[in-house]
Amino acid sequence: MTHMYFSGVFGVCIAALALAGCGTSAPVRYYGLVAVEQDIQFPVPKEFTVSVGPVRVAEYLNRSHIVTRGDGVGIYFAEYDRWPEPLAKSFQRTVANNLAALLGSDRVLEFPAQAELGVGYLLPAQVTRFDTDSTGIAILEIQWLVKNSDEEVVVTGRRSRYTDQVPDPDNYQSIVTALSGLIGAFSRDVGTILAELPQTSLPR
């Protein structure tokens, strides 16, 4: 009887494994941030140069899974909907691409460009929130500085918050599109500041 009992258990385990093998898991889907700015809004002199970064993200965002929030203190990591690369890198590049268009400049570079080129201004930032809440609102909270690289003088420093309603909060493409739009809004604010900097501070 004991032998039959173990045989039966073994048979049940094999059957369960076979059924699990027959199923297919959902495919992983990847979404990338995109630059949303295309028109020159804050033209700068051709000598103007800025290095975007380093951009750092809060640790809860430092993963491939796209993050959303529920009611209260709940935070959810999408199992099958992910970023294709480290979020900090993607965020940094998206800001740089937006600013290049807004400023009409081909000298908007990504960190660590200043180490090689000695650029005039630096734009480091810390992303403290970048997700959606339980009502489908996309939220970006970011702390950022503009610094003169020659003198390491802080020109301005701010904490900024941007929000927008996601058209379809259950669709990750819609979520990422809304989050890209928030980076665009942040980029416009930065562009306004950069365009007002005195030309006398530009590198010679």
pTM for this prediction? 0.84
| Distance (Å, whole) CA 155 – CA 148 | 7
* Per-residue CA distances from 59 to 33, 101, 129 (Å): 19, 30, 10
| Distance (Å, whole) CA 132 – CA 176 | 10
Question: How do the domains of the chain map onto residue ranges?
Answer: 32-201
CATH 1.10.10.10 assigned to 32-201: no
Q: What is the chain's pLDDT, residue by residue, as a tens digit (204 residues)?
A: 333 333 444 444 444 444 444 557 789 999 999 999 989 999 998 888 899 999 999 999 999 999 999 988 999 999 999 999 999 999 999 999 999 999 999 989 998 876 556 568 999 999 999 999 999 999 999 999 999 877 678 989 999 999 999 999 999 999 999 999 999 999 999 999 999 986 544 444
